[in-house]
Chain A
Amino acid sequence: MDLPKDLFYTENHEWLAVDGDEATIGITEYAQEEMGDVVFVELPEVGEEFEQFDSFGVVESVKAVADVYIPVGGKVIAINEELFDQPELINEEPYDGGWLIKIKITDEDELESLMNHEEYERFLEEVD
């Protein structure tokens, strides 16, 4: 599996792309493949605040319901409203059009607890 190199990853298969003190969050290729056809997404409101690893939404496929957890604490500054009509974007473009939310990061030190792509790749080898 070719993992994007410039992202952070969690053990719950979320990814995080950092841009200054902001970040975009989604679920990984592995996660979307495990879930199968995504048919529904529940996302927070812009302005809501979450602490690291809080559940911020739900992704549902035909057969499974999965909470998604925020990789670092922050305040929601945007949500991907396109997913309400096209939840399949999560399957088709998990690292791109299938992003879930953008946040303003509360504490950048929390990034240190996340995995880089090499660590996540090793992690995937272990879980499989």
Chain B
Amino acid sequence: MIDFASWEMPLQYSGIINEHLAVRNSAGLFDASHMGEFLFKGRDALDNLQLLVTNNVARLETGQVLYTPMCNEDGGIIDDLLIYRLSAEEYMMVVNAANIEKDYQWIKKHISGDLELEDISGQYALIALQGPESLAILKEISNPQLEELKYYHFLKGRVAGIELIISRTGYTGELGYELYCFPDEAVFLWKELMKAGEKYNLLPAGLGARDTLRLEKKYCLYGNDIDEKRHPLEAGLSWTVDFSKDDFIGKECLLDYQKNGYRQKLIGFKLIDRGMARKGYKIMDKDKIIGEVSSGGYSPILEGSIGLAYVDKEYSEIDKKIDIIIRNKAVKAVIVKTPFV
């Protein structure tokens, strides 16, 4: 057990590599209840959200989910989050556990009009079922037409007799579902899912596998690859910034970056030499520091060391060889296409 944003959570159950491979080959079950949820309710909910986040919330239909950064005036990323359109005047925002308080204060300061904002984090537990067998497992104990549920869509349904939100989202890059239920029903739901998943080799998976799985898919981790000192364009998230919107916080600065350029870019690399690259290690080209590792670790699928790093743009092309400084020694790596797997 480790302390994560004041939640006591398992880093691993049966071993990170074992859990990682279960999710890629069959299925894994994660407790993601630490995530925060806010409810936006009122006639002006959409207008307020449009101002708060960089992506276009107006594109959502009821039953759809949107991934988006939320930026400050400088374009720095306050958080990356999901928005669920529950109805035309009701939206749920799902934020990172470590940022719940910060996000809530920021949002409160910037909203106006006919809108009720409520922190409902305590009202939801979140269980994520991820992996190619996740649909088959879920179908064993639920009745809604899950085959028709598309990526980044959700519905309200029943699993093991419990009413909940079934969302086809996840942080692993596999087919998968995130289930939002009431906290006092979460343990029962977990056990029923484990039972239903037994014949599919479903394994419980911890924070360790969550990290290695997202890294192989180059999904940003807040606090590592993105934070308030980084903006969505350099993080490779320009697809989540809709400049056609009238206005949103950070738009002016981000437009300026888009027009006049910016210094660094988030790239993926693979180690050529033996070693393991970790967050914070410096990256060099000959004698010049050109960047820093933002996430690094072991890829169970590639059986080697991979990572993400911010490097100066002129050194960021695919196949470019770089040196990663590990304990004062230069270790060879190469910039590769992402996702890694």
Contacts and interface: CB of A to CB of B under 8 A. Distances in A.
Given A58-B327, A62-B298, A40 B15 contact: no
User: Which residue among B274, B275, B298 has the maximum number of chain A CB atoms within 10 Å of its CB?
Assistant: B298
A42 B305 CA distance: 14
A39 interface: yes
B274 A40 contact: yes
Task: Give the bracket for the number of chain B residues in contact with chain A.
Answer: 10 to 19
Contacts of B208: 36, 62-63
B11 interface: yes
15 contacts: A36-B12, A36-B16, A37-B17, A39-B276, A40-B274, A40-B275, A40-B305, A42-B327, A62-B16, A62-B17, A62-B208, A63-B12, A63-B16, A63-B211, A65-B276
A60 B15 CA distance: 14
A48 to B, nearest CB: 15
A97 B300 CA distance: 22
Contacts of B327: 42, 58
Interface of A: 36-37, 39-40, 42, 58, 60, 62-63, 65, 84
A84 B274 contact: yes
A56 B186 CA distance: 47
Instruction: Output the residue of A42, A63, A84 with the most chain B CB within 10 A.
Output: A63
Interface of B: 11-12, 15-18, 208, 211-212, 274-276, 278, 297-298, 300, 305, 327
B28 to A, nearest CB: 15
Given A58-B327, A62-B212, 8 more contacts: A37-B15, A40-B274, A62-B16, A62-B298, A63-B11, A63-B16, A63-B208, A65-B278
B16 A60 contact: no
A36 B276 contact: no
Nearest to B304: A39
A40 B300 CA distance: 13
Contact of B16 (A37, A58, A65): A37
B272 to A, nearest CB: 14
Contacts of A42: 275, 327
Contacts of A37: 15-18, 298
A14 to B, nearest CB: 19
A84 B273 CA distance: 12
Contacts of A36: 11-12, 15-16, 208
A84 B12 CA distance: 24
A62 B15 CA distance: 10
B74 to A, nearest CB: 33
Contacts of B17: 37, 62
Nearest to A60: B276
Contacts of A40: 274-276, 298, 305
A63 B276 CA distance: 11
Contacts of A60: 276
Contacts of A58: 327
Nearest to B278: A65
A66 B298 CA distance: 15
A63 B11 CA distance: 9
A1 B186 CA distance: 34
Nearest to A37: B17
State the 4 A-B residue pairs at the shortest beta-carbon distance, nearest first.
A62-B16, A39-B298, A40-B276, A37-B17
A62 B212 CA distance: 8
Contacts of B15: 36-37
Contacts of B276: 39-40, 60, 65
